[in-house]
Each structure stands twice: as structure tokens, then as C-alpha cells.
Amino acid sequence: MQVLHSLWDTETLYIWAESSALPLCLAGKSGHRKRQNRPQPHPFALPVGELKDLLMNTVSWSGDCSRVEALSLRLPALISGPLPSPWLLREDYQSEKPSQLSAYSVPALGLAPGPALDLMLELPVHQPPGIAYADSMFFWSRLALFSLELVSREQFVPAIEKNRAVWKVVIDEPDQERLNFFIHSFPPSCLSLTTPGQATPNHLVHSYVNRAVNAIVLSSLDGVSLLPAKRGRRPKNVPLPNQFLSALTGQEPDLSASARELASFSSKLDSWTGQIHPKIEDVPFRTCFRLESPESEKAAWSLAFFLQANDDRSLLVPAKDVWKTKSQALTFLKKRMKNPQERLLADLGKASRIFPLMERCLENARPTCLDMQTEQAYSFLRESAPLLKQNGFGILLPTWWDKPGSRLGIKLRIKGAAKKEGKVGPGFFGLDSLISYDWQLSLGDNVLTEAEFQELSCLKIPLVQIRGEWMELSPTEIEAAIAFFQKNRDREMTLADALRLGNSISGQKVSDVDSTLPVLGVQAEGQIEQILKSLANPGSLEEIRPPNEFQGTLRPYQLRGVSWLEYLRRIGLGACLADDMGLGKTVELIAFLLREIENERDKNDSPKAHHQPSLLICPMSVAGNWQKELARFAPSLRVLLHHGQNRNIGPAFLQEAKGKDVVITTYALAQRDEEHLSAIAWSHVILDEAQNIKNQAARQTQSIKRLHSGQKIALTGTPVENRLSELWSIMDFLNPGYLGSFQSFRRDFALPIEKYKNKKSSEVLRAIIQPFVLRRLKTDPIVIQDLPEKMEMRVNYTLTAEQASLYAAVVEEMLSRIESLEGIERRGQILAALTKLKQICNHPALFLQDASDLDGRSGKLSRLEEMLYEVLAGGDSALIFTQYAAMGAMLRHHLQEKLGVEALFLHGGTTRKQRDDMVYRFQAGGSPIFILSLKAGGFGLNLTAASHVFHYDRWWNPAVENQATDRAFRIGQKKRVFVHKFVCLGTLEESIDRMIEEKKALAESVIGAGELWLTELSNEALRDMLSLRRDAVSSEDDDR
């Protein structure tokens, strides 16, 4: 685990990191640490070379424009050295408290504002595995986004600072509130570079924003000249204004002039830019202007004057009431303002410098409004109103202004579709089916005829009234409309294009359309119209009955999910089922497959109608679970597990698969056996944990995309783990071409959303993919009413090859030893072996006690990681119970490193104060994962913040496990609680779990004493219960 930190010193951003791979203490230091005069080397600070590699791998950073620095930081210190960040904090630190701040030297990379900004904007939204962002990293990256937003809204002006030309930020009132929030939430760690009193949060925040804004503007002006092109030789003495304009593009930032000349020029510049610097005053009222549009085109526009309450913008005092005030103060609804008439007149004078037409009203001693012609009103709307607002004036504009629906746009009318030839599957349409369409010009909700448009374009007035409504019609839009219709007459588009347009946000510019005009709507006819309506509202789909051969009960929301899958299958489109963990994606998919077979039989009026098999690709760790669940809920389905070294290939596999309904295989085999798998035209290709194809360039992903099927389905709780490219890869598997090429998707969505956090692009993307992604959350009202208060579910997993080898050896050794033993000796050997077997199922490192690496060696841990990632993606918290304190410590360190969040661990050695602190932090939402040893945390705690409870290893006593579960499922719990109990297939865990389920009524009396009852079994019964069965092992080595 590496923890990234960042520090700002008004000119440079420094990056440094901690690493868990380094010793978390000072070499040779123990006992009381003496105060050192010099900073001591930080023992677990990442070396600069490794830091560069880390950044390059995390954000594709080139490593340029950086310099190596040795920083002296004031950090919290323990006796043994600096206090590690929470992600690195080990159990042996629990009892220590930081005694003071001490100086430590850390290697760091220093970045100038430009490269620093690029780095911060490139940070992945979700922390990559093995990397955590410290508070300082989060803080400066969020402030970088705020700075970028200010530039996008043109909140900057030119200025002179220390004889240099710079771009300086302009902060208006709403932005000041946001800036104050940053200042008040300033992390204390961001001050570790400074000595007390040297710099304040206010100073550091303002300097960072100004430097960031300057860097962004300079970057956008790279290669641009603000000076007119001139021929001839460059003069020796360049005039200061010319120097200034040249310097504003970053060419020569330093200005060469006398102090007097610079002061004079700077004063004039400040006077000019001061017009748009808002003055935020602590007064109860401000001057406000309201533009009122006329009812007819020939009437005048009116700009009315008011005083507006600062704390309640709905309170307006008309200017005529202000002039009626006879005293020196205005009192209105318990608000009092001194000299209101003088204030109003003074503000009108200031406003006239921004909107000169207002000087006319100052000729009147008591002005109340300003009448304007349409062209003047347009100038006010487009140019002056934003500037007045920036200067702190209130601005109230007509509701139709600046709304996409009140501007010129285009509407798509889809006329029909042609059947795609040679399509696989039952769907009438394919995404590449060609449909005929035409475009219509629209001004607001009004579709314009060609004659109406010609008449309006001849007016050459940017504000027009059509059918009683005012609209903006700019010359640029008229030119764009003429150019668009010259190119787009009598053309065809694919169904994919139509669906993208139909599901885009109304009023947005859509990349599929070669026009600067927004697409305001889509009108479809016939079947296309029905498809668009059904996709937009899955709840409107026809209710279906559960399949006859389904062994179980489908909840209403699950039945709706099956109906949705069936509808997309019917129209030939792929589907991503992304329901929250615990809602039953597996059950919905199994019911859907049964429905498909029943529908095929009904269609052919034959109970033995032939149909193509479906291919299910899943992680190796859950292949056995899928086989079990299919047998449990759909025993009539013929299932083949294509896995292991003895699997059939070639003609034998084709013959074997031909007689099956479902073929299960792994992601690894999808690539290795592509030749054999692609020889079958599958009914469905289904991906479980579909994020496994998130890398669109990987060979495995390409192999899977080449498989042929009537429909493709993806099951995942996390369609996007780190980057939007992962979503594109999944969608391109489901419906190839729907999101366009990877390059166009990156240009139109990934970069605007990930780097610039563009909300409009995010909304458009969400709308475009919504028809093909069904995601229900546990908290959805339509779902929560169908769920019980507590849901218990078995989590099946398989052993790795290493676990299986250790397990088999322990069983054989135990069976050979007890052959000649009786009584207490025999019981002791059995109990010792059971403990070893449970430890092996948990993780080989727990059994071996060798402090070895945990990654990839335990099927149970791998499954826990997958499920916890989904829990965190849903914003939930989880409890994890284990019998073994050593396992809890391993889990804490490993999960923190893998998931990038703090995990708490409560065990028998935890003090009462530490326990209370952990409970408070968990309940307050500070740490989403709480690991507890069953004995220490199984009773007496209130942990209702958790909605998931994981029993990592089993106590085999239902009463004890229920008592632990009740830490979350108790009075005060406002959410549904999901309980996950791990069971390893083909081992003692499955045998004992089955016995408990079969004898629930006797469980407490027979099995209530823990595992002692197992010692009374005969040797043969023990062999049968404990021996490893074939389905217990799942290893990539078996798939070679």
C-alpha cells in the first residue's frame, strides 16, 4: 500500500508518498526518542524513483517538469518514529499516541503550477488498488477542479504582480462561499511544510487558485498572440502595453520598465478591471434589475429597478417605494437600511459604467425603470447582465432566456426501419439496421416551416417573437441551420444512432450530429416509437409469469428484471444487469434462461424443441457456485462446466455442448479456447463480474467480443471501477458500435467527465446508456418493499491449488493418526485437524504462519475482495467476523491495501477506549470496514451503520453467529441487512453447512457445543465429511 500526499508552498506543489513495503520505524530506535536538532530521514517515505513510477502508472504522467526535493516536514511522532497514515497503521501502534510534532526529511517531487494542475486533474476518481489518497491529495485535487471551473466561466482578468503579467481570478459572491468552505475544511497536514504562523489556510488557498487559473489560461493561449501581426524588425524598446499583451500568453512574463511606469500602468489596469470585481458588503439590501419582455414585438422592453434583500432574494422593494421613503432609513419586513435613496442612485451610477444606456435614466431625479428597444435588450441580456451580476448586482431575467428549449434547434423524425439481413437471434432489429429519417427546425416547442424560417432569418434581429413566445435567434444559429440542412437531406442512419439521439438529454449538442445546433427531441413512428418508450421506462413492460420449472420464488422486482431481459432479447439488444449486491442477479438470470427455453418450446409447439446453448463466462472463483445455483433453482437445465485439464476440446466439445442448455467456463479459458468456443452460435453469451473485460485492448476481452450469440448479457455490480473506458468496453461487448469508437468516446465523454468533471457530459452519457443498464439499489422504494428486514445468503467459493494441497495433506495425516487412538487423544487430534482445515480455508498464510504475501492464494479472500468492492461502490459499510485474531490482522492490512480505505480491527487485546473510538468512527461513517474477532465483537456493540455482515469463517453454532449478526441487525437499524456466510464447496465447510440446514430444529442441541460433536463421528464418517471432493478446487493451472 502506498499513500500519496501533496503540499503547496504558494509557488510549488510537492508530492511525496508513504509505503507499507518499507519498515514503519526508525532503524535502531527504541525506547524514549530524544529531540533531534536535524530532521531525521522518514523511514517509510517512498524513494523518488519509485514515486515517479507510481505516478506514471497511476495517471499516465510523463514525469517531465519536476524536480527532486528533500522536504523537512513537521509530522506527528511516536516513540518508534513518525505516525503512519491510517491505511498503514498496524496493530502494534494501537496503544501508542503521538506525543509531539517532529521534523522528518522526505524525498519529494516539486511541480510548477502548470504540471501540478495536469497531475491533479488526471487523478482517477476512484483510488486504484494498492494506492490511497491522503486528505491533502484530495484537497488540492478538488481545489484544482474548482480553479478549472472558474476558468470555464471566464472568471479571470489580466493583472500585474511583482513586475510580471499574470491572469488573476475574479471571485463573485457564490464562489466566495465555496472558497470559504475550502478554507474552513483545510486539512492540518497541508501545513506540515511550514513553521507555525508562517502561512495560513486563507493565504495558501488563494495563492493556489490564482496560480492554477494563471496556468490554465496560459496553457490555452499557447501559440496565440494578442498583438496584431507586424512586419519588419522588432524595435529595441517595446512599449509597456505591448510587453504586457505579449507576456499574457506566457512568452515573456517579466515586464521591463521603470517602477514609475509600471505603477502608472498597473493603476490604469486596476481601474479598468475593477469594474468587474464584485464588492461584497455586509448590508441588508442590494440593487437589483429585472428585465420584463413586452407582449408584442413593437412594444418597448422594461428594465425595472429594485432593492433586493441579501438574505432572502425573493424580497424585492420597487424603486418607486424607495423614493417614497421620507426618513433616512428604509424598514421592510423587519429589515432596515440607512440612506436607501442615496444607495440606489449611487448603484445606478456604477451600473451605467457597465451598461452605458442606463445613463439616460439618471437624467430623472427619481428613476424607476429604463425602457429599451429589442436590440438594446439583447445587448443587455448577452453582454451587460453577466457583468452586472459579477459586480454584485441582483439580476432577474425572463424565464425563457438561456434555456436550450427557447433557442433554435433541430428535431429528428424517424420514419421507419429496414430489417437487417442475416441477423443472429430473434430480434427484428439490429443496431446497424438502417432507418429513414428527416430533420425539422424547431424554435422552442414550435416546429418551423421552411417559409417561417426564411421570414425570421430576414428580420436580422436576435430576439424574435413566434406564436406569442420570445426566443433568441442569433445570426450564427441561422447560418448553422442553413449549412446543416444543405448536408442532411434524405439520408439514413443506423438504429444505434437513433437510440443515442433518442436517449440523449434534450437540448444538448450531440456528437453524432454534424451541427452546432442542439438536438431538441426525437419523434419516432411505429415499432421504433414503441422501442424508445419501453427502453425509457422499463417499469412499463408487460408483466410476465415466472417460469414453470423455476424452483423458488421470484420477488416482484426480480420478475421485472426478467421481463426487462426478455424484452431486450426480443428486440435484439444486449443488456447489463447491474443490481446492487444481494438483490439476486444470479436468480434473475437463471429464471430468464428458463423462460427462454420455455418460449422456444411454445414457439415450436414441442416440449423437445432444439435450441442453442448459452455460454456463461465467470471468474474461476465462482464457477462452482454457478453450477450449484443452477442445480438448485433450475434442476431441469442441462449444465456443462467446461473447466480443468481434462476438459473436452474440438469435435468432442462441440458434441458435448450440443446437448446442454448452459455451458459454464472461465475468463482464462475464453481466450485459450476461443477457437472451440467461437465454433458455436450461442443463444446467449453471459459475463458474470463483467468488469473483467474492462481493459478493451486485452486479448481476453478481444476473444470474448469475437464470440457469436443472439444476445449478450453482462452481470456486474460495478460497471465502472476506475475509468469510463471500462464502461465503454462492457457496452461495446453488449451492443458493438453503440457508444461509437473508443477514440470518439474518449473525446466526447471520458475526458470531459474524468478530467474536467463536466456535468452535462455526465448527464448525456447516463441518459444514453440508461436503456441498456438496469441498476436497482436496496434503498429504492420499489425494491425495499419487496425485501425482508434481514437476508441471509450462502457465499460459495472454491480452494486454490495451494489450499487444496495443504487441506488434503492435513486430512490424510489426521486420519492415519486416529486409526489407533481412542478417547481424549483421538478427540484432541480431530479438533487440532479441524482448526488447521479452517485456517487453510481462510488462507494458507494463516496456517503456515510465515508472514507471506496474501494476494491470489485464497479463494475465500478473493471472493471477499470482490464483494467488498461492490459494497463500497454502493456507499455501504460492512462488518467482517472471524474467529482468528491473526486472520483479522491479515485482513486489515490486505483490505486496506487492495481497497484503499481504512479498515478497523477489534480483537481481544483492544482497550475499552480504543474500542469506543472505533465504534464511534464506524458509526459516523469514517471507516466503512470493521473487522471483529467473534469473541471480542460478537456481543455488546451497536454497529447499525453496517448493512452487510460477512462471516469469514464459521463458528458452526447458529446462536453464536446470529448474536454476532445482531451487532448490525438491531433496534436503530434503518436499512436492510445482508448476511453473507462463506462456504467452501467440496470441503468440511459445505458438509457441516448442509447438516445444519437439514437439521435446523436440532442444530442448537446437536451442534450447539461448537465442533465437539464431530469428534464422536466414526473414522469412515469423518473421512466422508472431511475429504476433499472434486468440485472443491479451482485454479488457473487446471485450465491450461
Tens digit of each residue's pLDDT (9 = 90 or more) over 73-92: 999 888 778 888 877 766 55
Is 223's pLDDT higher than 90? no
Question: Residue 691 class from Cβ within 10 Å (0-12 exposed, 13-18 middle, 19+ buried)?
Answer: buried
**What is the DSSP code string of 158-190?**
EEEETTEEEEEE---HHHHHHHHHHHHT--GGG
Is 716's pLDDT higher than 60? yes
- The one-letter code for the residue type at 915 is R
**What is the DSSP code string of 733-765?**
HHSTTTT--HHHHIIIIIIIIIIT--HHHHHHH
- The one-letter code for the residue type at 755 is K
Is 469's pLDDT higher than 50? yes
Co-location of 752 and 832 in the same domain:
no
Co-location of 921 and 853 in the same domain:
yes
Cβ–Cβ < 8 Å for 927, 901? yes
Residue 10 falls inside a structural domain: yes
Cell of 242: 505591448
Arithmetic mean of pLDDT over the chain = 85
- The one-letter code for the residue type at 345 is L
Q: In whole angstroms, what is the distance from residue 807 CA to residue 385 CA?
A: 76
From 367, 396, 425, the end of a domain falls on 396
- Helix (H) / strand (E) containing 14: strand 13-19
Co-location of 763 and 716 in the same domain:
yes
Cβ–Cβ < 8 Å for 748, 511? yes
Higher pLDDT, 486 or 551: 551
**pLDDT class for 417, splitting at 50, 70, 90?**
low
Average pLDDT over every residue of 416-438: 59
Give the residue ranges of DSSP H helices in 504-605.
526-536, 556-570, 585-604
Residue 232 falls inside a structural domain: no
CB atoms within 10 A of CB 768: 21
Residue 106: predicted pLDDT = 94
Average pLDDT over every residue of 313-326: 88
CB contact set of 994 (below 8 Å; sequence gap of 6+): none
Q: In whole angstroms, what is the distance from residue 103 CA to residue 112 CA?
A: 25
Co-location of 193 and 321 in the same domain:
no
Question: Residue 822 class from Cβ within 10 Å (0-12 exposed, 13-18 middle, 19+ buried)?
Answer: exposed
Residue 773 falls inside a structural domain: yes
As a whole number of angstroms, the longest Cα–Cα distance in the chain is 117
Residue 427: predicted pLDDT = 47
**What is the DSSP code string of 957-972?**
-HHHHHHHHTTTSSTT
What are the backbone dihedrals phi and psi of residue 587, each rounded to the nearest 5 degrees, phi first? -65, -40
Give just the sign of the alpha carbon dihedral 877, 881, 882, 886. positive
Is 524's pLDDT higher than 90? no
Number of residues that make up the chain? 1040
Co-location of 885 and 1023 in the same domain:
yes
Co-location of 851 and 963 in the same domain:
yes
Is 364's pLDDT higher than 80? yes
Report how far apart the first and last C-alpha atoms of the chain are (Å, whole number): 32
Residue 663: predicted pLDDT = 97
Residue 503: predicted pLDDT = 72
CB contact set of 1006 (below 8 Å; sequence gap of 6+): 999, 1013
Residue 998: predicted pLDDT = 67
**pLDDT class for 124, splitting at 50, 70, 90?**
confident
Residue in 860, 796, 801 with CA at minimum distance from that of residue 1035: 801
Co-location of 765 and 814 in the same domain:
no
Cβ–Cβ < 8 Å for 903, 891? yes
Residue 1006: predicted pLDDT = 47
Co-location of 763 and 824 in the same domain:
no
Residue 785: predicted pLDDT = 82
Cβ–Cβ < 8 Å for 786, 561? no
Question: Residue 977 class from Cβ within 10 Å (0-12 exposed, 13-18 middle, 19+ buried)?
Answer: buried
From 345, 380, 396, the end of a domain falls on 396
Co-location of 915 and 958 in the same domain:
yes
Is 1000's pLDDT higher than 60? no
Beta-bridge partners for 791: 978
Residue 33 DSSP class: P
Tens digit of each residue's pLDDT (9 = 90 or more) over 741-791: 999 999 989 888 887 778 888 888 988 898 899 998 888 888 888 777 888
- The one-letter code for the residue type at 504 is S
**pLDDT class for 384, splitting at 50, 70, 90?**
very high
Cell of 820: 489407533
**pLDDT class for 843, splitting at 50, 70, 90?**
very high
Residue 234 falls inside a structural domain: no
Q: In whole angstroms, what is the distance from residue 522 CA to residue 27 CA?
A: 70
Residue 109: predicted pLDDT = 93
- Pairing label, strands 156-161, 575-577: unpaired
From 102, 133, 164, the end of a domain falls on 133
Average pLDDT over every residue of 485-490: 74
Query: Looking at the 3D structure of the chain, how many domains does it have?
Result: 6
Cell of 345: 442612485
Q: In whole angstroms, what is the distance from residue 835 CA to residue 1003 CA?
A: 20
3-state helix/strand/coil string of 765-792: HHHHHHHHEECCCCCCHHHHCCCCCEEE
Average pLDDT over every residue of 1013-1034: 80
Residue 415 DSSP class: E
Residue 1008: predicted pLDDT = 47
Residue in 703, 721, 722, 704 with CA at minimum distance from that of residue 713: 704
Average pLDDT over every residue of 414-423: 54
**pLDDT class for 283, splitting at 50, 70, 90?**
confident
Give just the sign of the alpha carbon dihedral 740, 743, 748, 754. positive
Residue in 717, 707, 715, 745 with CA at minimum distance from that of residue 729: 745
Residue in 846, 839, 796 with CA at minimum distance from that of residue 953: 839
Q: In whole angstroms, what is the distance from residue 847 CA to residue 835 CA?
A: 9
Residue 851 falls inside a structural domain: yes
Q: Specify the CATH number for the domain of residue 948.
A: 3.40.50.300
Give the residue ranges of DSSP H helices in 900-973.
912-923, 934-937, 958-965
Q: Across 64-112, where does the E strand assignment appear? A: 66-78, 81-82, 100-111
Residue 637 falls inside a structural domain: yes
Higher pLDDT, 265 or 1000: 265
Give the residue ranges of DSSP H helices in 45-112.
48-59
Co-location of 861 and 747 in the same domain:
no
Average pLDDT over every residue of 329-341: 78
Residue 231 falls inside a structural domain: no
**pLDDT class for 4, splitting at 50, 70, 90?**
very high
Q: In whole angstroms, what is the distance from residue 120 CA to residue 113 CA?
A: 10
CA distances, 832 to each of 3, 812, 847 (Å): 40, 13, 12
Residue 682 falls inside a structural domain: yes
Beta-bridge partners for 881: 932, 951
**pLDDT class for 535, splitting at 50, 70, 90?**
confident
CB contact set of 317 (below 8 Å; sequence gap of 6+): 285, 306, 307, 308, 330, 332, 340
**pLDDT class for 954, splitting at 50, 70, 90?**
confident
For the ranges 321-330, 428-437, 527-536, 631-640, the maximum mean pLDDT occurs at 631-640
Is 298's pLDDT higher than 60? yes
Residue 156: predicted pLDDT = 92
Please give the residue range of the domain that contains residue 343.
285-396
Co-location of 593 and 725 in the same domain:
yes
Average pLDDT over every residue of 598-627: 84
Co-location of 180 and 292 in the same domain:
no
CB atoms within 10 A of CB 228: 7
Residue 655: predicted pLDDT = 93
How wide is the angle at C-alpha 367 spanned by C-alphas 361 and 373, nearest 5°? 45
Residue 25: predicted pLDDT = 60
